[in-house]
Amino acid sequence: MVSATVFKGTAVAAALVSLLAVPAHAAPLEPGAPMVDARASTLPAPDVTGVWNVLRTVRRQGAPGAIARLDDRDTIRWAAVGVADRKSGRAISNADRFRIGSVTKVFSAVALLQLVDEKKLKLDAPVNRYLPGLLPDHRITVRHVLSHRSGLHDYTNEMFARTVPGFEAVRTKVFTYRQLVNRSLSKPRTTKPGGAYSYSNTNFVVAGMLIEKLTGHSVRTEYKSRIIDPLKLRDTFYVHPGTKIPGRHARGYLTPDAAGAALVDSTEQTVSWAQSAGAIISSTRDLNTFLSALLGGRLTSRAQLAQMERWVPAGTSQAYGLGLRRRDLSCGISVYGHTGAVQGYYTYAFASKDGRRSLAAAANTSNNGTVLNSMLGTLESAFCGKQAKPQRLPAPVERHEDVAPGIPLSVDPN
């Protein structure tokens, strides 16, 4: 018998809130999958009410809607608050697709590490070996690019120095990879090759170029054949340079720099400024399936997964591997995945070390630093349970995750 529990709070106009538990069928681990982390297999019970409360909070802070899905071995729980479409008032749901922003970087890294497994790429080889003449410094390796230690300037600093005008200037534009790299190379580098972590979308534009050069196919084809089709991801697409999200989806809303200004509907866009750094569309279901498969050892060899998990410091309670972020939570548990910020959407997608518990959460707004920081609470509740420690307020704005240091974020002083 399937049991379902629904948690309800104070009625909110145009808001739908639900948390359900249903059985799921996990795919078996392949032989040679990584050993199960003892801490990951004994996680505290998730605080599902806490997840719901975080979503209510981000809605009060300016997100039209927010969703979360928690896959925990054979149990699925999900939550949804607010609206997918401000004009129609349609309630948001975990059935809605959305733009995942920089969670795309994990897909790109997986494709490249599969190419390492196929002996077509070496992590410590210079990028210029595969893309002759692209970069001015022959010491920049594939590993440096995937770990944000190349020193390549993030061209989005200038592109989005003013949020809405910057977005409107590129909304329907189609860039080549080389045009984006050239924008980066027109600015000084941030560190020497192999230096300190410095987040830059340029690195994963280069990653996309490597995928296409080594396979002779588009990144769309490679994402589909290497990840989307094998995992049966039914909501995951790379439509660039198309502007529409296929099927049922949440509309995205961009927060202007001026306090109190009306949200801008940013749903339709090419995302050509990001491409292999941030243009994938997905759902909470598919993101959990993807991360569980990756961390469960079903997408790369054990050796390449270990390479992804070679960490360098990347900010407060964080580290970065190869296209993979580690977040260290208040209860001492670490989770693995990525955050994503793209105009109109914020995404958190993380899983336990063994991949057996995964959480994907999204809000359909962006350029709102308060919402971005509050979304971290979904991870605390999902993985620490009631052991989660209250976040200090006001939380510092995360400027060095998926938006470059120079990009402004609006912050609610309350």
Enumerate the β-bridge partners of residue 368: 410
Q: Give the model confidence (pLDDT) of 389-405 as tens digits.
A: 866 544 444 433 454 44
Residue 37 clears pLDDT 50, i.e. is over it: no
Higher pLDDT, 238 or 387: 238
Q: What's the pLDDT band for 323 if we cut at 50, 70, 90? A: very high
Q: What's the pLDDT score for residue 388? A: 78
Q: What's the pLDDT score for residue 391? A: 64
Q: What's the pLDDT score for residue 89? A: 98
> What is the side-by-side strand order in the sheet with 318-320?
22-23, 75-82, 65-72, 357-363, 345-351, 334-342, 325-328, 318-320, 312-313
Q: Is the dihedral of CA 202, 208, 213, 214 positive or negative?
A: positive
Residue 371 clears pLDDT 50, i.e. is over it: yes
Tell me which amino acid residue 86 is: R
Residue 336 clears pLDDT 70, i.e. is over it: yes
Tell me which amino acid residue 45 is: A
Q: What's the pLDDT score for residue 401? A: 42
Q: What's the pLDDT band for 314 if we cut at 50, 70, 90? A: very high
What domains can be seen in the chain, in order of their start residue? 48-384 (3.40.710.10)
Active site residue 410: no
Q: Would you call 399 helix, strand, or coil by DSSP?
A: coil
Residue 135 clears pLDDT 90, i.e. is over it: yes
Higher pLDDT, 23 or 103: 103
Q: Is 66 left (phi over 0), alpha (psi -120 to 50) or beta?
A: beta
Q: Give the model confidence (pLDDT) of 72-111 as tens digits.
A: 998 999 999 999 999 999 999 999 999 999 999 999 999 9
Higher pLDDT, 223 or 38: 223
What does the buried/exposed string (b/e) look like for 22-50 if buried means 16 or more CB atoms within 10 Å of the residue's CB? eeeeeeebeeebbeebeebeebeebbbeb
Higher pLDDT, 4 or 53: 53
Higher pLDDT, 23 or 149: 149
Instruction: Looking at 282-389, list the stretches that DSSP marks H as alpha helix, in order from N- to C-terminal side.
Output: 284-295, 302-308, 369-379
Q: What's the pLDDT score for residue 3? A: 28
| Residue bearing tokens 């976040």 | 391
Q: CA nearest 317: which of 326, 306, 307?
A: 326
Q: Is 376 left (phi over 0), alpha (psi -120 to 50) or beta?
A: alpha
Q: Give the model confidence (pLDDT) of 281-312 as tens digits.
A: 999 999 999 999 999 999 999 999 999 999 99
Q: Give the model confidence (pLDDT) of 241-285 as tens digits.
A: 999 999 999 999 999 999 889 999 999 999 999 999 999 999 999
Q: What's the pLDDT score for residue 42? A: 84
Residue 38 clears pLDDT 70, i.e. is over it: no
| Residue bearing tokens 């094998």 | 230
Residue 160 clears pLDDT 90, i.e. is over it: yes
**pLDDT above 70: percentage of residues in the chain:** 84
Looking at 3-12, 38-47, 91-100, which range is the least confident one? 3-12
* Long-range pairs of 161-168 with CB within 8 A, sequence gap ≥ 24: 161/406, 161/407, 161/408, 162/257, 162/408, 163/254, 163/255, 163/256, 163/257, 163/367, 163/407, 163/408, 163/410, 164/254, 164/256, 164/257, 164/264, 167/254, 167/264, 167/266, 167/269, 167/343
Q: How far apart are CA 335 and CA 329, in angstroms?
A: 8
Q: What's the pLDDT score for residue 389? A: 80
Rounded to two decimals, the pTM is: 0.88
Per-residue pLDDT, averaged over 37-42, amounts to: 50
Enumerate the β-bridge partners of residue 366: 254
Q: Compute the mean pLDDT over every residue in the chain, rounded to the nearest whole number.
A: 87
Per-residue pLDDT, averaged over 120-128, amounts to: 98
Residue 15 clears pLDDT 50, i.e. is over it: no
- Terminal Cα-to-Cα distance of the chain (whole angstroms): 45
Token readout for 394 is 């006001």
Residue 40 clears pLDDT 90, i.e. is over it: no
Q: What's the pLDDT band for 5 if we cut at 50, 70, 90? A: very low
Q: Give the model confidence (pLDDT) of 182-212 as tens digits.
A: 999 999 999 999 999 999 999 999 999 999 9
Active-site option among 18, 88, 93, 102:
102
